[in-house]
Amino acid sequence: ARTVAYAMDLAEPTHAVTITQPGTNSAEITKRLRLFTSAVREKYPDFQMLWAAEESEDGMIHVHGIYYIGNTERGLSRKVIEYAKGRAGIPTLCFSKPIPRGARAQFMGYMTKTLGDPKTAARFHELNRSPSRLRVYQGRGFFRDGAGGRPLTLREAKKLSFQRSRSRASTSALSA
């Protein structure tokens, strides 16, 4: 899970999104999130989002996502969110907020927090069609080598972020 989080961070997402009541099972959630993403791309063709679904203790299914729009700091307007929700058939709350600089790792960890509890991990895997490993959904092209960087596959992003983290670790060990 950590290597996926590093790969997500490498893409430098700028905003987080939460969508409540996106569906009751993985097929319905996936369909609605694809429709939501397609509707957003009508306005912002360079919109890229990565998301994971979870169920809270009170039974509410919701999605946490991170996204960016091209190489900008721009977020989704309320008007675009409402349009995309309507196209996707998502009946309730959806909100977006900027990810504070230096806090991306916290947002990425929050997306997968239910994996840390054996009582909720199985449901996370069920909702995200992942029997035993971390799975997040991303649009084509989410992974990249930083804002404005070249597009990467998930495998390339994991490898590159791991290499960079090892390089930083050895550099800080030398300076200590």
Which of 62, 41, 64 lies closest to 51, judged by CA? 64
Strand 47-55 relative to strand 61-69: parallel, antiparallel, unpaired?
antiparallel
When mean pLDDT is compared across 27-31, 77-81, 156-160, 170-174, the lowest value belongs to: 170-174
pLDDT at 135: 65
When mean pLDDT is compared across 17-26, 65-74, 127-136, the lowest value belongs to: 127-136
CA distances from 112 to 54, 84, 109, 135, 159 (A): 8, 24, 6, 9, 21
pTM (predicted TM-score): 0.85
CB 69 within 8 A of CB 47: yes
Give residue-wise pLDDT tens across range 88-128. 999 887 889 999 877 777 777 777 788 878 888 888 888 88
Which of 141, 127, 134, 139 lies closest to 63, judged by CA? 127
pLDDT at 1: 61
User: What's the rounded mean pLDDT across residues 21-49?
Assistant: 92
Strand segments (E) across 27-127: 47-55, 61-69, 94-98
pLDDT at 8: 85
pLDDT at 130: 73
pLDDT at 108: 74
Radius of gyration of the chain from Cα atoms?
Answer: 16
pLDDT, the chain, mean: 85
